[in-house]
């Protein structure tokens, strides 16, 4: 089963942005599958895949942050802080995978889906309502 599923609550009310978020989620799923496809599920591959997921999400955040800076968007600092909070959480999860891959996967799944559900419907929704 895929790591993440698209949920209605992820919608920011802008078709183009929803599509972008959906592509990001699909890409995260594809990257994550590599962990299950790697024989032995060794620590190096877990770290590499989590690193790629981290980079993928970072790239999306960097685009949004540039958009906010260009528009001198008022909620820039808080929005950026929330992005950084998720990136930190992904880093922290590497340890959980080392200790127990099943627990690590469960934690990654719930952290990402919880964070996306909250962030997309609050910060991103406000941002894209104002800037399109
Ligand atoms: Fe976003
Ligand atoms: Fe955002």
For 11, 16, 27, 80, 83, the CA distances from 22, given in Å and listed in that order, are 9, 10, 9, 20, 17
- Check whether 40 has a pLDDT greater than 60: no
- Check whether 65 has a pLDDT greater than 90: yes
DSSP string, 52-64: HHHHHHHHHHHHH
Q: How many CA atoms lie within 13 A of 19 on its CB side?
A: 3
Instruction: Tell me the C-alpha distance between 120 and 113, whole Å.
Output: 10
Nearest ligand to the C-alpha atom of residue 11: 1
Nearest ligand to the C-alpha atom of residue 76: 2
Nearest ligand to the C-alpha atom of residue 16: 1
pLDDT at 56: 95
CA of 38 to the centre of ligand 1 (A): 30
Nearest ligand to the C-alpha atom of residue 57: 1
pTM: 0.89
Query: What Rg value do the Cα atoms of the chain yield, rounded?
Result: 15
Residues 73-98: pLDDT tens digits?
999 999 999 999 999 999 999 889 88
For a pLDDT cut of 90, what percent of the chain falls above it? 68
CA of 41 to the centre of ligand 1 (A): 30
Q: What is the average pLDDT across 9-19? A: 91
Give the single-character DSSP code of 41. G
Q: Higher model confidence: residue 60 or residue 101?
A: 60
């Amino acid at each position: 089963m895929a790591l993440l599923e698209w949920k209605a609550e992820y919608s920011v009310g802008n078709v183009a942005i929803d599509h972008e978020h959906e592509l990001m989620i699909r890409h995260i799923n594809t990257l994550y599958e590599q962990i299950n496809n790697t024989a032995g599920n060794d620590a190096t591959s877990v770290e590499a895949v989590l690193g790629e997921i981290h980079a993928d999400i970072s790239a999306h955040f960097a685009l949004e942050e540039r958009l906010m800076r260009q528009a001198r968007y008022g909620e820039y600092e808080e929005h950026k802080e929330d992005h950084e909070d998720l990136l930190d959480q992904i880093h922290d999860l590497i340890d959980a995978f080392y200790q127990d891959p099943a627990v690590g996967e469960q934690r990654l799944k719930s952290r990402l889906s919880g964070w996306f559900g909250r962030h997309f419907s609050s910060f991103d929704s406000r941002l894209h309502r104002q800037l399109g």
